[in-house]
Structure 1
Amino acid sequence: MNTELLLVLVLLCACVGLFIVNKPRMDVVALCVIVLLPLLGIMSVQEALLGFSDSNVVLIGALFIVGEGLSRTGISYRVGDWLLRRAGNSETRLLALLMLAVAALGSVISSTGIVAIFIPVVLSCASRMGVAPGRFMMTLSFSGLISGMMTLVSTPPNMMVDSALRREGHEGLSFFSYTPIGLVVLALGLGYMLVARHWLAGEKHAEASSSGGSSGTGSAVPRGPAKRLDDFIREYGLEGRAHRLRLKIHSPLVGLKLRELTLRQEFGANVVAVERRGRLSDELCEPNSGLELREGDVLLIDLFRAGAELRRLCQVMSLEMLDMPEGYFTDESREIGMAEVLLPPDSALIGKNVPEAALRRRYGLNVVAVRRNRQPLGSFALDQRFRAGDTLLVVGSWKAIRRLQRRLEDFLVLTLPAESAAVAPALSRAPYALLSLGIMVGLMVSGLVPNVIAALIACLLMGAFRCIDLSSAYKSIHWPSLVLIAGMIPFALALERTGGVDMAVNGLVNALGEAGPRVLLGGLFVVTMLITLFISNTATAVLMAPIAVTLATRMDASPLPFAITVALAASTAFSTPVASPVNMLVLGPGGYRFIDFVKVGLPFSAVVLAVCVLLVPLFFPL
């Protein structure tokens, strides 16, 4: 082993360790790799920056924009509503339609976003059927992972494998190269989950789910295809917490700016909005820290504490209590809205409380309730720390809520109420978004232009048809993912140049070579799958793809089956909740434990392994 290889291996082990603990973030680790490789003399600066010029990095960025266009035009949510209507009261029909819908949408859109959209749909269906949501939630995450096996653009590992093949001078993959295998896995997954659902979510889960948001008000989840603002209020037990208070002439609050108020600390009162001239002004729907209060202003407050505090607040601050009309939020729904927001594992809000998160100052929104493990925190306090998987109910202007949808690294907007359709930014442009998507897929399938050009054409069409604006387009791109990919590509090159790839290939050949190529495929699959359980599947694919291509060359075989095996294994992250973001998303809503994923995911991983070993050589001869 030469010195350069030793340095690369040490750096690789350090990166894997940092990926596992997620400190610092994976994109920061990737940037460190880009800096260290030239400093260690392993490659030039130009070679270290090679990942940023890779066409698949641009392609992935363009697909983020296409997905945002579909979201802004309401297409994804409409599919969810259709699923809710078609499922009726049949568990089997819901499970089948759920897997088909998620696999179809996930083949062209981010599976994480699709799963986030479908979580509230599944919760509503489960409530209507009177069954535990845990019987369906793992089906949702599994179908999200299976969608990564459907098309070339369905997940970054597929594109990274294609890029590795082309760099080595081999023929790349087509748009539907993965589809035959993916369809078989989807069919087997459907049959498997029809059985495996009975292993999940016993009576304890069901009871928690059914009582999760009632607070003595009956069923928390609406029976229709979409929740309304009043449903949110009932579900989170917010009745009686909203009050309208007018500032009297001698009120000590007159002339103060919102950042100077101490109502939260002294009275547990949160200013949600300010009425001026008898209506909610667009400007005042998202009060900022510099907003100065005037005599006669009406504060819409959310009172976290008991009613006695309201009387004390009115007395001390010289406020007049006004009537809260029934259906107030519904009447003002064109100005002010609500949304359920999920905190993903890497959100910057994890570990912070409401004042530290400063959502009103940063985003013009207020947190009025929190749900943890599907249970509203009735004793939620402003100093309580947020955890990964918490669902926040936020209130603010629709404009602010829409802005939050673009902050994918910190938030996942799960549910928008039915009233949001009246203020959807591009609802009427849905046909044009579908047209743009169809043109992109058609160009990719036909091969008339490179995939990246087809995706960029779709982005331009989305903009030309006003499905998305430039600001939304740039903010929709998940830059940490692109930086991670760009940082790992030169790492793979460094392993290849220093002999690390040859060493891994020799190890596999020495261990399994005499058993035949199918056993080698199985061994490659298992190694890739195990690695992706601990680090990003994209990083795994970038590292393992050169090994697969070199292994095929060493065996004097076609590189296609070996490369596709790596891509399929990178999406086989069924066995632990931390192996994939989609698993983390359903962990809380499904009421699952770690062992539930092992119990259900491990056997299905073995099924995918068998499919790969048996069918990949048939579709892609060795």
Structure 2
Amino acid sequence: MNAELALVLGLLATCVALFIRNRPRMDVVALMAMVALPLAGVLSVPEALAGFSDPSVILIGALFVIGHSLVRTGIAYRLGDWLARTAGTSEIRLLVLLMLAVAGLGSVMSSTGVVAIFIPVVLGVARRMRLPPGRLMMPLAFAGLISGMLTLVATPPNMVVSSELRRAGLEGFGFFDFTPIGLAVLVAGLVYMLLVRRWLARPEDQDGTEDSRQTLADLADRYRLAERARRLRVRQGSPLANAVLNELQLRAEYGINVIAVERPGRFQNRLLIATGNTELRAGDILLADIASPAIGLLGAFDELGLEAVALKNAYYDVHARELGLVEVTLPPDSHLPGKTIQELGFRSRHGLNVVGLRRNRQALAGLLVDERLKPGDTLLVAGEWKAIHRLQGLSRDFLVLSLPAEVDHVAPAAQKAPQALFCLAVMVALMVSGLVPNVLAALIACLLLGLFRCIDMDSAYRSIHWQSLLLIVGMLPFALALQKTGGIDLAVSGLVTLLGDAGPRAILACLFLLTAMIGLFISNTATAVLLAPVAISTAEQLGASPYPFAMTVALAASAAFMTPISSPVNTLVLGPGGYRFGDFVRIGVPFTLMVMIVSVALVPLLFPF
């Protein structure tokens, strides 16, 4: 071992120790390493900074944007809603559908983002089915990790390994090259979780899993909205048809406050938040608050040409993505006390409707349009989430209290879902066909998403996980440094000397275990950066194809099942699932060995030596 190699190994060991300690942050450690290597004379400055121009880094950044577009357009949340409806009361059906949905969505977007989206969905379904969340949270995390084995773009390690193949003058992996093995692992994961789910929960798992924030249902109960909520269809020939709300004076003359309008569309109803200029049409369904349940009995509905429509759930729950509720209180220096709710003009000024009033902790009955406000009153207003966010900036006369939990699930570009799916399909088609390089396919999809307004520049920049990109950029020079100083040759010769007589499958198993074990302590992306050159060089020394060795490293990098800190996905479900460190060890270690067996058995069949 020469002095330069000893220096590089020392720097690498220091980085690993800091990664384990998690202080300073991993991206800072990577930048420190990037600076240290040229200062030590191991690499030149251009070589140390070459990661910034690596196509895989640009591709990963673009995929963060594309994944976020699926959230902004509501596609990810609609999938969660479908899961809750389809599962019904069957735990087995729920578990199978959950893992399939998470793995499928995670194959084209960040698995961490997918799991974060599904955690509240799963908690809600678990509460409804009276299941301990622990029986579902670990399957959720494992499905997120398995999604990284399904496509080339599912996780950064896949793209890092593919990029390393191209750097060696070889062809990289195709979009679906991972899919057959990933599907086999997914089937194994489904069977495994169905068998071990009874050991995933303990009686105390329910503790602490409730969201401490209030929900729309909490607000509706507090202001007794259920007593007044109605869905009313505008009949053919109704005097309301083709009339504007401001002209009708429904609130003042009939005690009917129209909050929103469901307008029939070709595929589904479209929700319109009511304003004074909203024009009603025959067939519209009005989502309204009424002053008293007696209004319908008094003949007002017949006079107006309205008919009541069944309301299975509160429409604030049904339309939670578009229609929000929030409490507004009057600060001491407000100029509003003494004015009536009618005089506030919330609908005309802010695009919001006042649907409730609390005074001295008691909800007042009726629509209260003529009620004069007093200091300390709290109003409940309803409208678009966008309008509610605007209201937060107007703090002189009223103060917006904490937003309900559903605000986390708002899709600001929900109407652009078809366009987002089209952009995703274009990217996949370009990648599969090979017409353009993968990085250009992803950038084309990003530009189309911006053109269709599925995402804007601000949200695009916010969606990129810069820490991950800097980690990759900072660790890439280590692979070059180890290659220049002979470190990779040393590791390869040791591996071949130790296991060369045992056959290439034994070396695949050793590579898998080595990658999985290193991934316990440092990022799986950094692990792939370090071990991909080792895998390719090992294949060259054996005179074998590099593809099965590179594929094994990529698969093992996603097999972070063994501890709750080996992947952000596991860390996310640790609290909601009520798990302990040992729960991941006793469930994750056997499954990791199972994944290794599946990989070592299938990889050589698809990528012969």
TM-score > 0.5, shorter chain as reference: yes
| CA pair 562-73 structure 1, distance change in 2 beyond 3 A | same
Distance in 1, Cα, partners of 2:568 & 2:385:
33
* Greater alpha carbon shift after TM alignment, 464-473 vs 109-118: 464-473
2:427 aligned to 434, 440, 443, which one? Answer: 440
Are residues 583 and 554 of structure 1, via their aligned partners in 2, closer, same or farther at CA, if it must alter by over 3 Å? Answer: same
Matches within 5 A, 1:57-456: 57-206=57-206, 209=209, 228=317, 243-245=329-331, 247=333, 277=344, 279=346, 320-325=374-379, 328-330=380-382, 335-336=387-388, 394-395=402-403, 415-416=406-407, 420=410, 424-456=411-443
The separation in 1 between residues aligned to 2:358 and 2:21, in whole angstroms, is 38
Q: After TM superposition, list the pairs within 5 Å mapping 1:462-477 onto structure 2.
A: 462-477=449-464
Partner of 1:499: 486
Cα separation, partners in 2 of 1:225 and 1:448, compared to 1, 3 Å: farther
Judged with a 3 Å threshold, the aligned counterparts in structure 2 of structure 1 residues 47 and 320 are, in CA distance, closer, same or farther, namely: same
Change (3 A) 1:42 1:66: same
Q: Which amino acid aligns with 1:482?
A: L
Are 2:51 and 1:51 aligned? yes
- 1:621 partner amino acid: P
Q: Work out the CA distance in 1 between the residues paired with 2:170 and 2:213.
A: 56
Code of the aligned partner of 1:335: A
Question: Which among 562, 577, 583 is matched to residue 590 of structure 1?
Answer: 577
Q: 2: CA distance between counterparts of 1:482 and 1:566? A: 20
3-state SS of paired residue (1:335) = helix
Give the whole-Å Cα distance in 2 for the aligned partners of 1:175 and 1:536. Answer: 23
Equivalent residue number for residue 480 of structure 1? 467
Q: CA deviation at 1:127?
A: 0.8
1:371 corresponds to = none
Residues 84, 225 of structure 1: 8 Å contact kept: no
Is the 8 Å Cα contact of residues 479 and 529 (structure 2) preserved in structure 1?
Answer: yes
- Give the Cα–Cα distance (whole angstroms) in 2 for the partners of residues 329 and 28 of structure 1: 45
For the structure 1 residues 282 and 152, does the alpha-carbon distance in structure 2 shift closer, same or farther, using more than 3 Å as the test?
farther
Give the distance between the partners of 1:487 and 1:469, measured in 2 at CA: 29
Q: Look up the match of 1:344.
A: none
Q: Structure 1: any 5+ residue segments left out of the alignment?
A: 233-237, 252-274, 286-297, 308-318, 339-358, 369-393, 397-413
* Aligned positions, number: 493
- Tell me the residue number matched to 1:569: 556
The CA deviation at 1:245 is: 4.6
Which amino acid in structure 2 is aligned with residue 514 of structure 1? D
Report the counterpart of residue 311 of structure 1 in structure 2: none
Q: Secondary structure at the match of 2:577?
A: coil
User: What is the alpha-carbon distance in structure 2 between the residues aligned to residue 494 and residue 177 of structure 1?
Assistant: 30
Partner of 1:533: 520
Q: Taking every aligned residue pair, what percent have the same amino acid on both sides?
A: 57
Q: CA deviation at 1:437?
A: 0.3
1:515-534: CA deviations, max 9, x gaps? 11111111111010000011
Structure 2 counterpart SS, 1:336? helix
Q: Which residue of 2 aligns with 1:459?
A: 446
Once the two structures are TM-superposed, the CA of residue 474 in structure 1 deviates from its matched residue by 2.1
Deviation for aligned residue 1:507? 2.2
CA deviation digits over 1:26-68, x for unaligned, max 9?
Answer: 1111111111111111111111111111111111111111112
TM-score, normalization by structure 1: 0.72
CA contact (8 A) 2:423 2:449 kept: yes
Deviations 1:512-561 (A, max 9, x none): 22211111111111010000011100000000000000111111111001
Which position in structure 1 is the counterpart of 2:15?
Answer: 15
Distance 1:225 1:605 in 2: 45
Contact kept, 8 Å, 1:577 with 1:587, in 2: the verdict is yes
Instruction: Determine if contact 2:385/2:407 at 8 Å carries over to the other structure.
Output: no
Structure 1 equivalent of residue 283 of structure 2? none
The amino acid of 1:590's aligned partner reads G
- The match for 1:609 is 596
TM-score (norm 2): 0.74
Amino acid at match of 2:5: L
Question: Secondary structure of the equivalent of 2:8?
Answer: helix
Instruction: Give the secondary structure class of the aligned counterpart of 1:557.
Output: coil
Q: Distance in 2 between matches of 1:556 and 1:604?
A: 32
Structure 2 match to 1:354: none
Contact map agreement 2:73 2:413 (CA 8 A) in 1: yes
State the alpha-carbon separation in 1 of the partners of residues 573 and 314 from structure 2.
20
Q: Distance in 2 between matches of 1:611 and 1:20?
A: 29
Work out the CA distance in 2 between the residues paired with 1:415 and 1:193: 30
Give how far 1:415 is off: 4.8
Q: Deviations over 1:395-434 (max 9, x none)?
A: 39xxxxxxxxxxxxxxxxx85378x4xxx43211110110
In 1, distance between residues paired with 2:316 and 2:580? 28
SS of the aligned residue for 2:375 comes to strand
1:523 to 507, 510, 526: 510
Q: CA deviation at 1:208?
A: 5.6
Q: Measure the CA separation in 1 of the matches of 2:579 and 2:212.
A: 15
Structure 1 residues 256-309: Cα deviation after superposition (integer angstroms, max 9, x where no partner):
xxxxxxxxxxxxxxxxxxx99564999999xxxxxxxxxxxx9x9999xx99xx
Shift, 1:225, TM fit: 12
> Secondary structure of the residue that 1:321 maps to in structure 2?
coil
The match for 1:510 among 497, 504, 528 is: 497
| Cα distance in structure 2, aligned partners of 1:59 and 1:99 | 26
Sort the Cα spacing of 1:28 and 1:88 in 2 relative to 1 into closer, same or farther, 3 A. same
Residue 214 (structure 1) shift: 10
1:621 matched residue in structure 2: 608
Instruction: Name the SS of the counterpart of 1:395 in structure 2.
Output: coil
Residue-by-residue CA offset, 1:139-180 (whole Å, 9 max, x unaligned): 000000000000111000000000111111122111111111
Separation of aligned partners in 2, 1:68 and 1:214? 26
Relative to 1, partners in 2 of residues 1:523 and 1:279: Cα closer, same or farther, differing over 3 Å? same
What SS class does the counterpart of residue 416 from structure 1 fall into? helix
Residues 225 and 43 from structure 1, CA distance in 2 versus in 1: closer, same or farther, beyond 3 angstroms?
farther
Q: Which amino acid aligns with 2:148?
A: G
Change over 3 Å in CA distance of 1:207–1:612 after alignment to 2: same
Report the Cα offset of residue 125 of structure 1: 0.9
**C-alpha displacement at 1:324, in angstroms?**
3.3
Partners of 1:37 and 1:544 in 2: how far apart? Answer: 19
Q: 1:248 to 1:63 in 2, by over 3 A?
A: closer
Q: Which 5+ residue runs of structure 2 have no aligned equivalent? A: 222-311, 362-372
Pairwise CA distance, 1:21: 1.1
8 A Cα contact 1:329 1:337, kept in partner: no
* Change beyond 3 A, Cα 1:613–1:227: farther
The one-letter code matched in structure 1 to 2:582 is I
Structure 1 residues 544, 301: closer, same or farther in 2, change over 3 A? farther
Contact 2:209–2:575, Cα closer than 8 Å, also in 1:
no
| Contact 2:64/2:110, CA 8 A, preserved across alignment | yes
Contact 1:141 1:582 in 2 (8 A): yes
| C-alpha deviation, 1:506, in angstroms | 2.0
Correspondence for 2:305: none
Structure-1 separation of matches of 2:457 and 2:422: 19
What is the alpha-carbon distance in structure 1 between the residues aligned to residue 523 and residue 50 of structure 2?
20
